Amino acid sequence: MTVLDYCSVRDVTEQLAAPLSAEDQTVQSMPDVSPTKWHRAHTTWFFETFVLRDHVPGYRHYDERWTYLFNSYYEGEGDRHPRPLRGMLSRPALDEILAWRGHVDEALTRALPGLAPVALALVELGLNHEQQHQELMLMDMLATFAANPLLPAAWAADARIAAAAAPAPAWIEGREGIAAIGHDGGGFAFDCEGPRHRVFLQRHRLGARLVTNGEWLQFIADGGYAEPRLWLADGWEWVRRERIEAPLYWLRRDGGWQRFGLDGVGELVAAEPVCHVSYYEADAFARWAGARLPTEAEWEAAAAAHDPRGGNQLDAAGPVRAQAALPAVADDFQLFGDVWEWTGSAYLPYPGFAAAEGTVGEYNGKFMCSQMVLRGGSCATPRGHVRASYRNFFYPHQRWMFSGLRLAKDL
């Protein structure tokens, strides 16, 4: 863990926020979303609270009032400002938050060479935590701009990979028998990724690529959103209550569909992976296609031999594509990057799981209820952040993240 590592991650946050005005960074479009200003403050709060306060003698809070404002969900750190009201925090102003970030960065980089191993581990956790918030920032920016009637763009559309048609559907046979999944202990991982343990895999096959927009258009045309037999009971209730008829950010215009992204309104490219669908939608589509969603064990067993840094992921040098394009390498199966892949697995503890000691132990374990696992990262995930054992998780109805799917079948 070096000063360069720390500064590199923190700088990506600033790059992502650069196109936004102070007003853009303050508003909150729904309770699930947090303002960009809040993300920049909360990640700073994490380093100040868990590293500087607890492990650097003599350090004093920049402003103790802000500990209440920018704690997210850590009960061990006391009361906090309600999540649905984060958009009401017009004060402290953005320039005050930036001054605080600078203060914490200076203090931490000065202290970093002398930190004890336990503190260095917290810095590493904090950097991975900030990378998660970088993706959340992009998700939340998109949701906020989509709520604006002007449908503004954060940046200009980039050159997109041309793809006249997606490769024909194909299948790869999955591993059968006993397999080991979970983090193997080498390098960083979140606590929920372990312990490594054995599972038994039945004969199955996985789709050799992600489901595309073109295939989703067929699902819509075939009445997929209007056929209750395709849907879980909760999903059908959700579809009817929310009047869902297409993935999030699809716009019906001039008798057809367009999509909205961080680069504004654009063409819906049939060959691209479908994005911004809920677990309910993914499960219904799989049923319509005569298939199912992979389990997380099936997915991880297939992904273990592939490079987690490959595929379409977020690079510091450029903006995320609002919708992923097909990868240049035809045989990588799109296992990493592009879109997070819904699995059919509930987010539950692995055998022998134990949360980390202290308040940071609240990070993952307490959310192991009523959520589903997604795998593989997305076009908004910082490159190098994910690995085969990485477990993301969301509630079944949520879809403002960059989420899609691949299919699986039993053999």
Give the start-to-end residue ranges of the domains of the chain: 3-146, 171-410
Say what the pLDDT of residue 329 is: 38
Determine the 3-state secondary structure of 408 from DSSP: strand
- What six digits make up the tokens of 155? 């940046």
Task: Single out the residue of 199, 211, 197 nearest to residue 174, CA to CA.
Answer: 199
Rounded CA gap, 406 and 77, in Å? 40
R_g of the chain computed on alpha carbons: 21
Q: Is the dihedral of CA 91, 96, 101, 106 positive or negative?
A: negative
Determine the 3-state secondary structure of 61 from DSSP: coil
* Residues in the chain, pLDDT under 50: 322-331
Judge residue 117's burial from the number of C-beta atoms within 10 Å of its C-beta, 0-12 exposed, 13-18 middle, 19 or more buried: exposed
Say what the pLDDT of residue 323 is: 43
Rounded CA gap, 209 and 400, in Å? 22
Superfamily of domain 171-410: paralog of FGE (formylglycine-generating enzyme) (3.90.1580.10)
Max CA separation in the chain (angstroms): 66
- What six digits make up the tokens of 364? 């993952």
CB 168 within 8 A of CB 271: no
Rounded CA gap, 295 and 346, in Å? 9
Rounded CA gap, 196 and 194, in Å? 5
Task: Single out the residue of 407, 402, 191, 170 nearest to residue 298, CA to CA.
Answer: 407
Rounded CA gap, 239 and 89, in Å? 33
- What is the pTM for the complete model shown? 0.95
CB 402 within 8 A of CB 375: no
CA 44 vs CA 52, 128, 382: distances in Å: 11, 13, 18
DSSP code of residue 382: B
pLDDT digits (tens, 9 = 90+) for 21-35: 999 999 999 999 999
CA 352 vs CA 14, 107, 189, 264, 367: distances in Å: 39, 38, 16, 46, 17
Q: Is the dihedral of CA 356, 353, 176, 335 positive or negative?
A: negative
Pairing of strands 340-346, 403-404: parallel
Task: Single out the residue of 132, 139, 149 nearest to residue 30, CA to CA.
Answer: 139
